[in-house]
């Protein structure tokens, strides 16, 4: 399985940004697609995830109501829609996939390359 994340970017506080993650290879319908982020000097943090087939989602409290995960099965692509961005959302964002409905990075088997998102105040 390979994951290719889109380029992030620089956005002003209050703005929006969408990241995409295109998956290729052998994906199973019960795979979970997750998003994580890592700010400088901090550990990698779970952001949210979606069941690949069922569409069930879960988000960490800090992004609940602002971030949304969606998917396009025809394109094997998952999206992270980020709204009302805050400077504290600045981080390198990663997509990942695994077989467990989990929030720990170690439970995910495959990772995309990180992409920088910077939110200016």
pLDDT digits (tens, 9 = 90+) for 5-57: 999 999 999 999 999 999 998 877 778 999 999 999 999 999 999 987 767 99
The phi, psi pair for 115, rounded to 5°, reads -135, 135
For 81-112, give the DSSP string.
EE-S--GGG-EEEEEEEESS----GGG--EEP
pLDDT digits (tens, 9 = 90+) for 6-20: 999 999 999 999 999
88 contacts: CB under 8 Å, gap ≥ 6: 39, 62, 119
Please, what is the Cα angle at 49 between 115 and 97, to 5 degrees? Answer: 70
């Amino acid at each position: 399985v390979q994951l290719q994340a889109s380029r992030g970017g620089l956005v002003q506080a209050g703005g929006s940004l969408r990241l995409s993650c295109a998956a290729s290879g052998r994906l199973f319908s019960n795979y979970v697609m997750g998003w994580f982020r890592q700010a400088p000097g901090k550990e990698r943090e779970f952001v949210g995830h979606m069941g690949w087939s069922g569409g069930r989602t879960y988000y960490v409290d800090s992004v609940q109501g602002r971030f949304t995960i969606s998917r396009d099965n025809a394109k094997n692509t998952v999206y992270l829609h980020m709204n009302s961005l805050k400077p504290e959302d600045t981080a390198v964002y990663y997509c990942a996939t695994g077989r467990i409905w989990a929030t720990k990075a170690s439970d995910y088997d495959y990772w995309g390359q990180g992409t920088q998102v910077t939110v200016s105040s």
